[in-house]
Amino acid sequence: MKVLVPVKRVIDYNVKPRVKADGTGVDLANVKMSMNPFDEIAVEEAIRLKEKGTATEIIAVSVGPAKAQETLRTALAMGADRAILVVSETDVEPLGVAKILKAIVDEEQPGLVILGKQAIDDDSNQTGQMLAALTERPQGTFASKVEIEGDTVKVTREVDAGLETVTLKAPAIITTDLRLNEPRYASLPNIMKAKSKPLAQKTPADYGVDIAARLKTLKVVEPAKRSAGIKVPDVDALVEKLKNMGVAA
């Protein structure tokens, strides 16, 4: 089974983002970038499937700037076999990414597509679901456990009420949640080997996809600072304060 794993280059989760002074977006100058954490989990799951003998080839895909090569090399160092970079120096919305991935799925015919449930920069949580709709493949989103027997994929999903288990027929689309696994660190020998693994560069035009923006960002602002708390002398004063706050609200 061939496994396709889309990954995204985002601001590292340890970095506190800063808004540009003109409010047009997030300042990316001199900011550490890395692979989206949910996508790291997707890469790890694909590698584990290959180690079990279920997957035969892992293809990492990214849609983004030329610098996203670094993100793909990380995926290759973790254990992916080859990579495809669809270069776009402008932001591509989830629908555009899904259409590009659909074209790659048509070309590569993977048995599974495993991707993070969302990216930590825009938090859209849309690409996996849109890809499933475009490819007309069954989907298992927010996966915390994946079990494969033949062409049957059993996915345990994290939902508001607890856990839900769905059974899918491969080929299928899976989006990963945090508790699916813990991604491995790439070893130095594997990092060196990753430099010689195949990495093809494409453009959206190669797949006949229009990535023109359909949404316009009017303004980006930082969240309001939290106001300081107050102290009250006793429980009665606390109850009275809460009553007054309720009336004011």
DSSP 205-249: GGGT-----S-------PPPPPPPP---SSHHHHHHHHHHHHHH-
Helix 127-135 / helix 94-108 crossing angle, nearest 10 deg: 50
d(CA 184, CA 146): 18
Q: Label residue 247 by pLDDT band (50, 70, 90).
A: low
Helix 37-51 / helix 69-78 crossing angle, nearest 10 deg: 30
Q: In this prediction, what percent of the chain has a pLDDT beyond 90?
A: 79
- Domains in the chain, start-ordered, CATH in brackets? 2-248 (3.40.50.620)
pTM: 0.87
Cis check for the bond before 94: say yes or no (omega within 30 of 0). Answer: no
> How does pLDDT run across 189-212, given as a tens digit for each residue?
999 999 999 999 999 999 999 999
Angle at 194 between CA 83 and CA 199, to 5 degrees: 25
pLDDT beyond 60 at 117:
yes
Tell me what pLDDT residue 225 has. 85
Q: Label residue 244 by pLDDT band (50, 70, 90).
A: confident
Task: Please state which of the ranges 25-39, 54-68, 95-109 shows the lowest mean pLDDT.
Answer: 25-39
Tell me what pLDDT residue 227 has. 83
Q: In this prediction, what percent of the chain has a pLDDT beyond 70?
A: 98
pLDDT beyond 60 at 77:
yes
> How does pLDDT run across 57-67, given as a tens digit for each residue?
999 999 999 99
